[in-house]
Structure 1
Amino acid sequence: MDWSSVQLRSLVELRRRGTVTAVAAALGYTAGAISQQLGALERAAGVPLLRRVGRRVELTDAGLAFAGHAQQILDIEASATAALERSAGRVAGELQMALFATAAAEILPVMLARVARRHPDLVVRSRELVVDDVYDVVASGTADLAVGLEYPDVPIRRDPSLRVMPLHRERFSLAAPAGALPPGPVGLAATGPPLGWILPPEDTHYGLAIRTVCRRAGIEPALRHEVVDTAVSLALVEAGIGVSTVTDLMLRLRPSRFDVLPLVETFERHIVAVVRSSAEHRPNVAAVLRVLRELRLETVT
């Protein structure tokens, strides 16, 4: 049987994500291209792997079984690639990297400069993503390495194919309009009316994490504005619209004039590096990981 890695990965991602559209977004193709890849794989396999249900396609029993083996094939291929790179003993070629916005702004420029000095034959290509998507692009093989976030209050589901390595821990403070609250540490219970909250949606890790911390403190945050972009949230706080939570790294995104008050409650996030377990020791990946571990002390703290 003759098939390609892209075809196998499309099948694995269809099992993971459920729709061709979602697979296309994850792998960086059009939906039509993914459909063609799946059709070619089905012809190569010689048995029906897909069935149409309304306007969607889903995997047949054979497709589900084959998807499990396809993942094993991709893992073996990744291990073989890592072995070849290690035997060559050089850091060269390309590395695909994904980062969330704050990391792209604050960490990426310094990291790229240091990698270029140490490893001039390595080209790092980066892609900024919504933070909740960085795990998926590594799992799918679209990125070799990602810088993401994890919230201890709502830990992500652990994928056995991924390694998640802590780089830095940040504690959240309360961002409040100037003079709205007394100076000094503040408890979340003091953020009730007339102050409202500016928060990301609850179906994001960050949005769920802050609501979890508030509920543990015995309050339900009075949502005024639902905002994903951190810079917009900070602008609204500065304008006196409401309160939000903020870390030192988030504060670097936009010079702002508002009060930053320590929280009585502990609310943290961890900046993490994410790689596939089979790729962790590839020379290219290991080289960039070393730089990231150095920058956690120099750039993020």
Structure 2
Amino acid sequence: MELPGVQLRTLLELTRSRTMTAAAAALGYTPGAVSQHIAALERSTGSELVRRVGRRVELTDAGRTLAEHAERILGAQAEAVAALERARGEVGGHLRLGVFGTAAAVLLPPALRRLAARHPAVRVASREVDVDQAYVEVLAGRVDLALGLDYPDAPLARDGAVELVRLRTERFSLAVPAGAAGAGRAPLALAEAGAYDWILPAAGSYYGRAIRTACRRAGCEPRVVHEVTDTATSLAMVGAGLGVAPLTGLMLRLRSEGITVVPLRETVERHIVVAVGTAARARPSVAALIAALRAGAESGVGPEGVGPETERAAGTGPGTVPGGGPVPGGGNVTRRGQHGPAAVLRSQA
């Protein structure tokens, strides 16, 4: 009897989600693929595992029995791989790493260089995944571990089969156009920033929800004029005078031209994390890759997420506070109704 891991994971997710559609969304499959996985398990076991009840599905007695053992089977497989690695007496093997855009550009190169220097027998194949799906990619077994972002105001789901290992905590500042009148180094309250035009991801994303929640807690509703997911694009739009956007040191390393970094009075944070299967943590190769990623996340970024190099690049270090005037690369930033850092930023291009 064959019980492939991908099919067992599908059965486990179906026990949690209770519908084919929800299980497919959680695992990143189509509903048809979920049905095929369950059908294949039923053929292998010779038992009916699920039955439809209206729009939902329920596990049969055989399905519940198999589900009870599935998590232990998957855990045992991961433990066996870890044991084999330890038995070889060297750190080596092949790993599949999920990455998102910023991590691939900034964190991955130094991490892989460090890993290659210290553990040349470890081979890493990376694939880009949606940052909000990092946890799901590991849970579904498509990657061994994945870089992701976790927000205190919009935390990732937790599951006993997957752990979140924190690499670094970053504090958000606000990116404003470098020529903005009144934009200086004094901390800005989020309530004052409510008058700005904002550039944010969609409200349904973890990032978009976290920033909106922090703003609402401070008593303001961000006026989102441009919904943009890509960090480099949003910062380019800030540099062109189209609005303001949240910013961390890691994000600033993607682009700093035409941007002034304004500290926020409130503490708004995010955690750079690695999602990894609980049993896989015991693999020496996994531990080595996590250590290399942590070192990469910590290098070159200051204690609050904006290091001296990125400060100088953005024109925000001591003695470099810009005055008002035209914004480099595009429209004019004007003040509406008041002076100082809370002046409304609006493109006049």
TM-score with structure 2 length normalisation? 0.77
Identical counterparts, % of pairs: 50
Which residues in structure 2 correspond to 1:151-300 (within 5 Å)?
151-177=151-177, 178-183=179-184, 184-193=186-195, 195-300=196-301
Indicate the RMSD between aligned Cα atoms, in angstroms. 2.5
Any idea what the Cα deviations from partners look like across 1:78-135, whole Å, max 9, x if unmatched? Answer: 1122122211222222101112211111011111122222222221011111211101
Please give the alpha-carbon distance, in whole angstroms, between the structure 1 residues aligned to 2:154 and 2:31. Answer: 32
| Alignment-mate amino acid for residue 216 of structure 1 | R
On the 8 A contact 1:50/1:57 being kept in 2, the answer is no
Point out where structure 1 has 5 or more consecutive residues left out of the alignment: none
Check conservation: 1:138, 1:275, Cα contact below 8 A. yes
TM-score (normalizing by structure 1): 0.88
SS at match of 1:210: helix
CA pair 59-291 structure 1, distance change in 2 beyond 3 A = same
The superposition leaves residues 149-171 of structure 1 with CA deviations (integer Å, 9 ceiling, x where unpaired) of: 11122322322222222211111
Q: Residues 200 and 65 from structure 1, CA distance in 2 versus in 1: closer, same or farther, beyond 3 angstroms? A: farther
In structure 2, C-alpha distance between the alignment counterparts of 1:296 and 1:38, rounded to whole Å? 40
**Which amino acid in 1 is paired with 2:2?**
D
Q: Name the aligned partner's letter for residue 49 of structure 1.
A: L
Give secondary structure in 1 for the equivalent of 2:299: helix
Q: Distance in 1 between matches of 2:110 and 2:299?
A: 10
* Structure (1 or 2) with the larger CA radius of gyration: 2
Instruction: Name the CA shift for 1:136/1:299 in 2 (closer, same or farther; >3 Å).
Output: farther
Match runs of 1:1-301 below 5 Å: 1-16=1-16, 18-19=19-20, 23=24, 26=27, 35-51=35-51, 58-62=57-61, 63-177=63-177, 178-183=179-184, 184-193=186-195, 195-301=196-302
Structure (1 or 2) with the greater helix fraction: 1
How many pairs are equivalent?
A: 298
- The 1:51/1:272 distance shift into structure 2, 3 A limit, reads same
Relative to structure 1, the CA distance from residue 182 to residue 117 in structure 2 (aligned partners, 3 Å threshold; closer, same or farther) is closer
1: CA distance between counterparts of 2:161 and 2:8? 16
1:47 CA displacement: 2.1
Q: 1:165 to 1:200 in 2, by over 3 A?
A: same
Question: Which deviates the most, 226-235 or 62-71?
Answer: 62-71
Letter in 2 for 1:269: R
Secondary structure at the counterpart of residue 76 of structure 1:
helix
Using a 3 Å threshold, how does the CA distance of structure 1 residues 132 and 33 change in structure 2: closer, same or farther?
closer
